[in-house]
């Protein structure tokens, strides 16, 4: 083979690889979830989207609190009758917790009784927890189900309904129960707006970290507010409510999996000068289940694999990360 033919061959292969890379980047939104679903752990794990079918561990996991009690507990299912728990001083996150480091407990379920131990001890039976604290205080905490104060919020007269109320303005799929599935892209594009989103993460007790209830609400398809089953975690930039790779939430307001949750978002797009240069960063305020978790923070630029910043408006994108996250009652109020 002559040197010229070898060079041509190398150039041809390089062009093919560049074209393949460009295609992969352009189709990443569809390619990534397909690849994630090939993960052996993701394939083997059960993914519950219906509380009635979620099994006995689902009835144990959740929040335990009582009016007047100095403590509250979040219990996280880990699969095969195993549980972690976090004991909070003052109350639940967003409802009295004083910010002190939670106490971690671990334990298992045997029949109808779940026992957790650490620096404190807890026994759960019949939807109630008997807690013994490190100071020897004994308290009874019922299992509670908190609800966002904006859950089911009615769209104002000047709102644009994107999903629900007889409308579907997304390109995406709807499940048999009429809920919008992850991987949906709004047909319209928006600049400055207020956005209301309701979402529900699945119950996936055998999975951990980014494999558990992962999705995301992308503003202008540029800036991601992470959706994840982060119930009982610390609250990081890549956990529920985080502005991916930029800002962690002020408090982790994630409710247990299969509880409907809300984001109420106030977004101001980046500004550009006449020459096309960015003159002001995008800014956002986020309320998660009614509690402010980001207060008018700056977005340095697109998050993760978000689209490039331009003066043009952009769509709302509900990311598909391989988990069956569901959405409903999505509406938006454009701001002038």
246 and 166 belong to one structural domain:
yes
From residue 7, give the alpha-carbon distance in Å to each of 1, 2, 19: 10, 9, 18
Mean pLDDT over 222-226 rounds to: 98
pLDDT tens, position by position, 290-334 = 999 999 999 999 999 899 999 999 999 999 989 999 999 999 999
Residue 73 lies in a domain: yes
Give a yes or no: residue 153 inside a domain.
Answer: no
Question: Does 117 score more than 80 pLDDT?
Answer: yes
Structural domains counted in the chain: 3
- Between CA 25 and CA 29 the distance in angstroms is 8
Same domain, 317 and 205: yes
- The whole-number pLDDT of residue 307 equals 96
Is the model's pLDDT at 9 over the cut of 80?
no
Residues 22 and 114 in one domain: no
Flag whether 44 is in a domain.
Answer: no
Q: How far apart are CA 234 and CA 95, in angstroms?
A: 16
Could you tell me if residue 43 is inside a domain? no
Domain residue limits at 136: 54-144
Q: Determine, yes or no, domain membership for 298.
A: yes
- Does the pLDDT of residue 79 top 90, yes or no? yes
Which CATH number goes with the domain that contains 84? 2.40.128.50
Q: Are residues 259 and 129 in the same domain?
A: no
125-146 average pLDDT score: 95
The whole-number average pLDDT for the span 83-111 is: 97
In this prediction, residues 270-293 reach a mean pLDDT of: 97
Instruction: Looking at the structure, tell me whether residues 66 and 105 fall in a common domain.
Output: yes
Question: What is the pLDDT at residue 23?
Answer: 45
Q: Kindly state whether residue 231 falls inside one of the protein's structural domains.
A: yes
* Same-domain check for residues 238 and 290: yes
pLDDT at 210: 87
151, 198 in Cβ contact below 8 A? yes
The whole-number pLDDT of residue 134 equals 86
Q: Are residues 202 and 295 in the same domain?
A: yes
Residues 120 and 167 in one domain: no
Domain boundary among 144, 173, 188: 144
Report the distance separating Cα 321 and Cα 201, nearest Å: 12
**What is the value of pTM for the model shown?**
0.88
Judge whether 88 and 74 are in contact, CB under 8 Å. yes
Tens digits of residue pLDDT in 251-263: 999 999 999 999 9
Percent of the chain past pLDDT 70, that is, above it, reads 89
Please indicate, yes or no, if residue 45 is contained in any of the structural domains: no
Would residue 111 count as lying in a domain?
A: yes
Question: Does residue 24 sit in the same domain as residue 165?
Answer: no
For residue 162, pLDDT beyond 80: yes
- 74 plus 166 within the same structural domain: no
Calculate the average pLDDT of the chain: 92
For residue 324, give the CATH number of its domain.
2.60.120.560
Overall average pLDDT of the 85-99 stretch: 97
**Where among 97, 116, 144 does a domain terminate?**
144
Among residues 21, 32, 317, which one has the least CA distance to residue 195?
Answer: 317
* pLDDT value for 302: 97
Long-range pairs of 131-140 with CB within 8 A, sequence gap ≥ 24: 131/64, 131/71, 131/73, 131/87, 133/71, 133/87, 134/103, 137/70, 137/71, 139/66, 139/69, 139/71, 140/66
In the block, residue with structure tokens 């131990």: 117
85 and 208 in a single domain? The answer is no
Same domain, yes or no: 224 and 291: yes
Q: 110, 144, 178: which is the final residue of a domain?
A: 144
């Amino acid at each position: 083979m002559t040197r010229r033919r070898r060079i041509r061959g190398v150039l041809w292969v390089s062009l093919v690889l560049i074209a393949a890379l460009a295609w992969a980047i352009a189709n990443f939104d569809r390619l990534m979830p397909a690849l994630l679903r090939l993960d052996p752990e993701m394939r083997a794990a059960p993914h519950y989207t219906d509380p009635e079918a979620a099994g006995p561990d689902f009835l144990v996991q959740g929040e335990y609190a009582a009016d007047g009690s100095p403590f509250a507990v979040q219990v996280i299912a880990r699969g095969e009758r195993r549980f972690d728990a976090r004991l909070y001083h003052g109350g639940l996150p967003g409802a009295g917790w004083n910010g002190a480091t939670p106490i971690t407990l671990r334990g298992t379920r045997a029949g109808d009784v779940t026992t957790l131990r650490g620096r404190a001890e807890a026994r759960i039976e019949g939807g109630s927890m008997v807690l013994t604290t490190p100071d020897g205080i004994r308290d009874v905490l019922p299992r509670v189900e908190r609800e966002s104060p904006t859950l089911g919020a009615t769209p104002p007269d000047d709102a644009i309904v994107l999903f629900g109320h007889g409308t579907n303005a997304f390109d995406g799929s709807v499940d048999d129960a009429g809920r919008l599935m992850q991987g949906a892209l709004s047909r319209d594009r928006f600049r400055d707006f207020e956005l209301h989103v309701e979402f529900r993460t699945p119950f996936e007790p055998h999975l951990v970290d980014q494999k558990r209830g992962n999705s995301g609400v992308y503003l202008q398809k540029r800036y991601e507010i992470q959706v994840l089953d982060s119930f009982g975690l610390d609250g990081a930039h890549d956990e529920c409510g985080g502005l991916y790779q930029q800002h962690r939430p002020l408090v982790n307001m994630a409710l247990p999996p299969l509880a409907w949750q809300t984001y109420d978002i106030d977004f101001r797009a980046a500004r550009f000068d006449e020459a096309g240069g960015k003159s002001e960063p995008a800014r956002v305020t986020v309320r998660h289940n009614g509690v402010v978790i980001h207060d008018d923070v700056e977005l340095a630029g697109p998050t993760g694999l978000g689209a490039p910043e331009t003066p043009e408006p952009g769509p709302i994108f509900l990311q598909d990360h391989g988990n069956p996250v569901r959405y409903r009652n999505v509406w938006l109020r454009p701001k002038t």
